[in-house]
Chain A
Amino acid sequence: MRERLRTLVGEVFDVPSADVPEDASPETMSDWDSLRHLELMLALEMEFGVQLATETIPELTSLDAIEEFLRDQDAPAG
């Protein structure tokens, strides 16, 4: 999942996936502004087939947070 996620972030930010830092976030990527964040969230929905909730969007600001969110989507309830 991590590689798929890095590839997606690379596509949205128009950089090779290898150049996406492991600690990618708005602090470490200068292009990660509000518009890019919106594009990333949209790409996440389309690539992983999830529907984000309004309150989730501001929290998904790192690869770790996004990966954890995606794993929670797959995990059985309980």
Chain B
Amino acid sequence: MSARPFAQLRVGEVAGWSHVLTDEEVDAFAALSGDDNPLHLDDDFARRQGFRGRVVHGMLLGAFLSRVLGTILPGPGVLWLSQTIRWSQAAYVQDRIEIGVEIKHLSPALRTMVLATTIHNHRKELLLSGEAKVMMLGQQASVPWSETVAVVTGGSRGIGAAIVRALAEKGARVVVNYRQDAEAADAVVAAIKSAGGDGLAVRADMASADGADALADAALDAFGRVDIVVNNASPPIVRKPFEELRWEDVDAYASIYLRGAFTLAQRVLPGMKERAFGRFIHVLTSAMWGTPPPGTSGYVAGKSAAWGLARGMAVELAPYGVTVNAVSPSAVMTDQWDGASDARRRALAMAVPARRLAGADEVASTVLFLAGSEAGYITGANLPVAGGEVM
């Protein structure tokens, strides 16, 4: 029996449980507690005191209340902090009791709630009333890969396509976002499907809020949920000295890295909180670490802004089982480097302690780790995938 995510609970939610009290239960409770007061065990004694028969221990009713709190509402994972009790009438063997609980107040920050608790008998007489304060303990949410839906922005080629393949191989259904190259995106989806997986190519410009909204709509319409978001889309990276840089250049980076990621996150977050599981992973750059290369101020500013957003989200979403992390690759051998000379590539590789450049699959495997249930305790982390170039 699994615990319900706190975000699913609602003020006003009610639950009930009905049960007929038996002689065996009263005897067992007397033996367990040592409370062999004749009021509870001796019919004649109880009748002489004006009761209809032996009186069921009040705390046995409390024990059944514990059952309701611990198994029904709020259910498994609850810690009972305090309880006020007022007994109004005696309960008797063969009474059918109706236990009712209702959520009166929820505190997400404290993961704590207040519930009204009542027990009536079958004659609708109030036996017990009171107020429970309970806490839902933190939980490690685990979702099988086959149930997850991932969205990878810029997923039609390069690092994005490698991430898509890695997620699909695990069994996730993957929404492959692209802006221009429908043929490449369709090929990635076709490869997923031919391997027995499921995916969908969605054209959307992540530089605009409308584009990010359209991507969220398509993913939710197709699969009903989004568990993993990989913010990988990027405009072409062009080096420009700062004095030649125009705000439009900076905006091109920021629009995708920040506004697109922000808008998509806002759309899919409610479902993640409901399921107490979510993963946001930004693909950033090793240029953010240490001294950035000249001519990258717009690019690095955009990536840094995304990282600022990620850190803020990480701290706020951690209580809900939603993690926000990043990977920061150094130069990765994708088609973006097709125009570079061999000498340039060799020079790049020699500058890395590992003496080689990263493969897109190495970035993908790091993203895959952060996307999995096993990484649920990692949030706000930015992992360099850089062969030791930064640390």
Contacts and interface: CB of A to CB of B under 8 A. Distances in A.
A27 B93 CA distance: 50
Interface stretch (A1-9, A18-26, A44-52, A68-76): A44-52
A42 B315 contact: no
Contact of B105 (A35, A46, A52, A54): A46
Interface stretch (B109-117, B166-174, B235-243, B282-290): B109-117
B130 interface: no
A64 to B, nearest CB: 21
Given A38-B81, A38-B135, A39-B81, A52 B315 contact: no
A45 B107 contact: yes
Interface residues of A, number: 14
A39 B114 CA distance: 10
Interface in B274-314: none
Given A38-B110, A38-B112, A39-B82, A45 B105 contact: yes
A51 B105 CA distance: 11
B270 interface: no
B319 A42 contact: no
**Interface bracket on B:** 10 to 19
Given A46-B114, A54-B319, A55-B315, A41 B81 contact: no
B67 interface: no
A59 to B, nearest CB: 12
Contacts of A52: 107, 109-110
Contact of A53 (B105, B109, B112): B109
Contacts of B315: 55
A56 interface: yes
Nearest to B135: A38
Nearest to B319: A54
Given A42-B114, A46-B114, A54-B319, A35 B109 contact: no
B313 to A, nearest CB: 13
A57 interface: yes
B96 interface: no
Contact of A41 (B82, B107, B319): B107
Contact of B133 (A42, A51, A54): A42
Nearest to A41: B110
A36 B126 CA distance: 30
- State the majority secondary structure of interface residues on A: helix
A35 B110 contact: no
Instruction: Tell which of B82, B105, B110, B114 has the most Cβ of chain A within 10 Å.
Output: B110
A56 B316 CA distance: 12
Given A38-B135, A39-B82, A42-B133, A57 B110 contact: yes
Contact of B81 (A35, A45, A56, A57): A35
Contacts of A35: 81
Interface string B68-108: 00000000000001100000000000000000000001011
A42 B111 CA distance: 10
Contacts of B135: 38
B110 A42 contact: yes
Contacts of B105: 42, 45-46
A58 to B, nearest CB: 11
Contacts of A57: 109-110
A45 B109 CA distance: 10
A54 B109 contact: yes
A41 B152 CA distance: 40
A40 to B, nearest CB: 10
A41 B135 CA distance: 13
Interface of A: 35, 38-39, 41-42, 45-46, 51-57
21 contacts: A35-B81, A38-B110, A38-B135, A39-B81, A41-B107, A41-B110, A42-B105, A42-B107, A42-B112, A42-B114, A45-B107, A45-B110, A46-B105, A51-B107, A51-B108, A52-B109, A54-B319, A55-B315, A56-B109, A57-B109, A57-B110
Interface of B: 81-82, 105, 107-110, 112, 114, 133, 135, 315-316, 319
Given A42-B105, A46-B105, A52-B107, 8 more contacts: A35-B81, A41-B107, A42-B114, A42-B133, A45-B110, A52-B109, A54-B109, A54-B319
